[in-house]
């Protein structure tokens, strides 16, 4: 089995450095462009099945990449983005940063001491549900000869890849930084064991925009 795990394209909230989480923000035109460039780069790949977060930005990214393929696309709540609760909508970097953003930015700069709001999800909970998804991929016999697209989000993708690498530390959650929009990582599963083959593949020509919590 080969998984092609991709983070969704850009949204207006990505551009404005607003915390999205479970907010259902669609791709902007630039985000669709990134997804189209990624689709062009992946056009020669056989993809049998797609799994996507139910949020619009991930689903539309998956649909653009799949294109005319007849592959079915399934929603899966386990790969939805981390819920940030009352932090969602917060502008948390740049000149427009809002009160409360320092507390939120620990999620990127000091993850071990990040304290989610009472109405939010913990990083450990994120590890558990994304881990359940990955485990299912590893053990489902009918999927073992398939190539599968997985369209998800920055934190959810980081959790999936950390697990493949054997890193379930909260303190080291961002050891490999935030995956860029439309970055693709290939994971091969053999004998129920996942292994990263290629990580952080970028198919578009534009300069990669990295998150900066300042």
Catalytically active residues, by annotation: 8, 81
Write out the E strands in 14-86: 49-52, 73-75
Helix, strand, or coil (residue 124): helix
3-class SS letters over 76-98: CHHHCCCCCHHHCCCECCCCCCC
Strand order across the beta sheet in which 184-190 lies: 73-75, 49-52, 147-152, 2-7, 184-190, 193-201
Instruction: Tally DSSP H helices, then E strands, for the chain.
Output: 6, 6
Q: Which two tokens stand for residue 201?
A: 């593949």
Neighbours of 177 (CB within 10 A): 12
φ and ψ at residue 15, rounded to 5 degrees: -60, -40
């Amino acid at each position: 089995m080969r998984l092609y795990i991709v983070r969704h394209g850009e949204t207006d909230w990505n551009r404005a450095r607003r915390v999205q989480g479970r907010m259902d923000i669609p791709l902007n035109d630039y985000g669709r462009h990134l997804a189209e460039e990624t689709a062009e780069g992946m056009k020669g790949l056989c993809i049998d099945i797609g799994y996507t977060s139910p949020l619009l930005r991930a689903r539309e990214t998956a649909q653009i990449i799949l294109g005319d393929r007849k592959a079915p696309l399934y929603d899966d709540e386990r790969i939805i983005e981390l819920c940030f609760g009352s932090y969602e909508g917060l502008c948390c970097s740049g000149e427009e940063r809002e009160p409360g953003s320092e507390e939120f930015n620990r999620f990127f700069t000091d993850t071990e001491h990040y304290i989610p709001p009472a109405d939010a999800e913990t990083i450990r909970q994120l590890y558990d549900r994304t881990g359940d998804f990955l485990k299912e991929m590893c053990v489902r016999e009918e999927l073992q000869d398939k190539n599968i697209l997985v369209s998800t989000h920055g934190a959810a993708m980081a959790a999936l890849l950390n697990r493949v690498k054997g890193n379930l530390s909260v303190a080291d959650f961002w050891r490999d930084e935030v995956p860029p929009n439309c970055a693709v990582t290939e994971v091969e599963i053999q004998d129920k064991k996942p292994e990263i083959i290629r990580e952080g593949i970028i198919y578009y020509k534009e300069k990669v925009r990295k998150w900066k919590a300042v």
